[in-house]
Structure formats: C-alpha cells, structure tokens
Amino acid sequence: MGKFVVVAIGGNSLVKDHGRESVQDQYEAVCEIAANIADMVQEGVDVVVTHGNGPQVGFALRRSELAHEAAGMDAVPLVNCVADTQGGIGYQIQQALTNEFIRRNIDKKVATVVTQVEVSGDDPNFRHPTKPVGSFFTLEQAEEMKRENPDWIMAEDAGRGYRRVVPSPQPIDIVEKDVIKSLLESGYVVIAVGGGGIPVVKTERQTYNGIDAVIDKDFATSLLAGQIDAEALIITTGVPQVFIHYGKPNQQALEEITVEETRTFMEEGHFPAGSMLPKIEASLRFLEKPGRRVIITNPEHLGDAIRNKAGTHIVNQGKGGKEQVEAGRHVTGL
C-alpha cells in the first residue's frame, strides 16, 4: 500500500468475554492481534497501531474508587487512568509484536509513545457525557449501581447492555505527532494515541493541563492518520465487513464503496450510534483528502484486507481513488 498505514484496535476486542478480563486474558488477545499485524509488516507495510481502552479505563477507575472507599487511598483521576491504561496496553502490544517479529526473523523494532491529545475545555460533551467505559450491566444492575453511586451516568451501549459513561470531547491536535512520524521514518512500528490519547487542554500560556475524559479512539486515530499523512486507515471491529440492513433478511456486506455512497448509507440510518457510526464518521474525516483509503474489518482478516481480499474498503474518488473504485467496487449480498 506504500507510505504509512494506521491500524486501530478496539478496546472491547481485547476482552474476549465476561469472566476473561484479567491482564493475562488481555495479553492472550493482544498476541492474536499482534500476529495479524505482523502479517501486514511482513508484506512490507509501515504500521502505526492505535488502540481503545473503554473497558480497561473503566476497570482502572473503579479499582481506584474501591481502594479509596475501602482503604482511604488517594483516588486516581480519570485522566491518569487513561494514561495508565495507555501505557499498560501499549506495553503488551509492544512486547507481543516484538516477540512475533523475533519468531519470524523480521528485523523490526517497536516503540510505544505516551501520547497527549488536545481537546477543548468548552466541548459540549463535558456537559453531556457519551463515552461508555468499564463493564456491561443489565438494566437491574445498572439501576443498583446508580443508587450506590448517584454521580454516575449510566446509558445503554448499542443494545449490548448498560455501561457507565464519561465525557468524550472531540480531538483537536495530536501533541506528539512529529515524534510519531520521526519514529516511523526511522523504520519503527509505532504504538500511539492509546485509548484515544491522554486528554489535555491548552492554557493561555500555550502549556498543557490534563482533563478528565476519554477521547473516542476512532476519532483520535483518524486525526493522527491525517496529521502524519497516512495513505490508509484500518479500523478493526467485531465483524469482517460493514453491513447495511444488518440483521435483516436483505442484509448486505459492503466490499468497496465511495465516500458519497458511505454518506448516503449513513444518512439512511444503516450505522448504529455507539457501534458502527463513530467508525464511519471517523473514516469520512480521514477521507476528506483525495487518494486515501479506509478499510474496516476484524483483526483476523488484516492480512487479506491489505491485499484487497477482505474487509470494507471506502475510497475517496479524488486523485488515485476513482480508478480504484471503478475497477472493483461491488456489494455482496448475504
């Protein structure tokens, strides 16, 4: 594919199922994903890896609260929980990729960049939080948690259950973007913008202060991909392709589509909020520049996706894009 490719891993994909939420369970999931990313590197692709932290940051925040309640330990602010999970998950991905490269005799080094992402302190999401974190609850469990924690805001998460929600402001700038690009140009596989990045606000003196929030991983990844001038953005999710009429008799898997077709499907309501919609919105932001490509697929199909054999490919019909689309776009019905 040439140039840089940014691959986004969902935080939920690192938690296989309820009851398998330990650090070791997460590392096993990371190792599986690392093998798929190594397939891409073996194809000659220069990769930046980003990841979510929705479940993990919620776990970290709750551990801090329980330790404060039970033992009087100082509570850890949400922004620090984001930093902690960024480092912890980044370490696991870095180690898993390094080990995978050693096993395959691939001469590649891996580096994790602790990444700050600028947001606005006036972002409306601070007043109306929407980012789900932590565990899933039934309605009854959510009501009980709300009674025990009156300051919590609980919301349904894409029909999968109820979760705690926290502020999720829009990303404005990747503070360490030049460092990330420099490492890429030096031949490193880079892990960055973990958990959407550590949210910071800029002061009047042009310095930075942390702020309690969790930035959407897909929006931050899209911004990073644009700022380092990546050729492609790959967003992994729980399904091999994007669907329209999902779950209905006329369900269709999208293989290769244009930006215009994607917008039409979005306006028709095919992509649920809290599920596929943020990924589509992040994709369209990245595709504002002609010649770029977005691929949405599950982790196990990453290798096939870069060879145009898997996933949903969304292409801007600008320079280098229209010919690719007309050569092979189609929709496969299931």
Q: How far apart are CA 312 and CA 285, in angstroms?
A: 17
Angle at 159 between CA 158 and CA 165, to 5 degrees: 55
Contact 242, 276 (CB under 8 A): yes
Q: Per DSSP, what are the bridge partners of residue 6?
A: 48, 233
Where do the H-state alpha helices sit in 268-309? 277-286, 302-306
Per annotation, catalytic residue among 279, 298, 303, 311 = 279
- Token readout for 237 is 């999710």
Per annotation, catalytic residue among 108, 131, 177, 181 = 131
Residue 108 designated active-site: no
Residue 279 designated active-site: yes
Please, which residues have CB within 8 angstroms of residue 264's CB and are 6 or more apart in sequence? none
Burial of 16 by CB count in 10 Å (0-12 exposed, 13-18 middle, 19+ buried)?
middle
List phi, psi (to 5°) of 41: -60, -40
Q: Which is it for strands 162-166 and 331-333: parallel, antiparallel or unpaired? A: unpaired
Contact 139, 186 (CB under 8 A): no
Per annotation, catalytic residue among 12, 36, 53, 316 = 12
Residue 11 designated active-site: yes
Per annotation, catalytic residue among 108, 177, 181, 217 = 217
- Token readout for 161 is 């259950």
Q: How far apart are CA 19 and CA 170, in angstroms?
A: 32
Q: Whose CA is closest to 224, among 192, 249, 186, 255?
A: 192
Residues in the chain: 334
Classify 81 in phi/psi space as left (phi over 0), alpha (psi -120 to 50) or beta: alpha
DSSP state at residue 52: -
Type of residue at 320: G
Type of residue at 325: V
Which are the catalytic amino acids?
Answer: 11-12, 131, 217, 279
